[in-house]
Amino acid sequence: MKGPRRAALIAAVVASLAEPVHAGRPQAQELVAEGDALAAAGDRDGALARYRAAVVEDPDLIVAYDHAVPLWFATQRWDEAGRYLERATVRHPEWPGGWYALGFVYRKTNRADAAVAAYQEYAALRPGEAAPWYGLAASFEMAGDVTNAVRAWRRYRALERDADRALYRAEAERAIDRLLGPPHGWRDAMRRWMTDGGGAAAARRVTVAFPE
């Protein structure tokens, strides 16, 4: 088999491997739409029932899990969320949102080591994002791993540039100071002062007198 026919066959095989297609996908999509409408109307239980039904019809429909996550969190259904998210991330390890949500569930259920593993998967997929490093830092701290907690907090602080998340960045700075304590914590405080412009401004105000 040569030429365009062979190329078309290869393309079809690659497409089928990349995106599993289920006969129940149209029905699953309808269930998600119904769930969205119920969620908008304030019926969380009804919405979650539709999302659960959707993943029964099509276990690879990521949007169903994605829309269920905020409702699971709002109702603190950590065990249910964990079961579904574990299945989703096994089937779709390339889904960063799934790993982030799963890490949060593990933190809420005091499973520090599992939370670390989930956030590490997210960080590997999106190394330039700040969010996984916040989760990693909190998880390492929960596990009592001070060294890696400090490293993760520092990484989060370096990556977080969203002005709306200034409180989280300040939390990271307090965590570093708390975990390191004197005499090491002052180094991070001095670094922040220099980075924020205080050191440069002070340097401009200093006049050095040299002996003649």
Output the pLDDT for position 24: 84
Q: Is the pLDDT of residue 198 over 80?
A: no
Output the pLDDT for position 105: 98
Give CA 128 to chain center in angstroms: 12
Please report, as a single letter, which amino acid is at residue 129.
E
Minimal CA–CA distance to 195: which of 149, 141, 164, 154? 154
Minimal CA–CA distance to 177: which of 144, 149, 145, 204? 149
More confident residue, 81 or 5: 81
Output the pLDDT for position 181: 83
Rounded to the nearest 10°, the torsion over CA 168, 174, 180, 184 is 110
Output the pLDDT for position 188: 56
Output the pLDDT for position 211: 38
Q: Identify the CATH assignment for 77-188 out of 2.60.40.1080, 1.25.40.10, 3.30.200.20, 3.20.20.70.
A: 1.25.40.10
Minimal CA–CA distance to 107: which of 120, 116, 99? 116
Whether 107 contacts 115, CB under 8 Å: yes
Output the pLDDT for position 202: 44
More confident residue, 202 or 159: 159
Q: What is the mean pLDDT of residues 10-34?
A: 68
Find tokens 């539709």 and name the residue.
50
Structure tokens at 35: 């769930």
What average pLDDT does the structure give for the chain? Answer: 84
Name the residue ranges covered by the structural domains of the chain.
23-75, 77-188
Question: How far apart are the C-alpha atoms of 103 and 137, rounded to whole Å?
Answer: 12
Cis peptide before 183 (omega within 30 of 0): yes
DSSP state of 164: G
pLDDT digits (tens, 9 = 90+) for 161-175: 999 999 999 999 999
Q: Is the pLDDT of residue 195 over 60?
A: no
More confident residue, 212 or 154: 154
Question: How far apart are the C-alpha atoms of 177 and 207, rounded to whole Å?
Answer: 32
Output the pLDDT for position 191: 60
pLDDT digits (tens, 9 = 90+) for 70-119: 999 999 999 999 999 999 999 999 999 999 999 999 999 999 999 999 99
For 144-155, the three-class secondary structure string (H helix, E strand, C coil) is CCHHHHHHHHHH
Please compute Rg for the chain using Cα positions.
Answer: 24
Q: Is the pLDDT of residue 201 over 70?
A: no
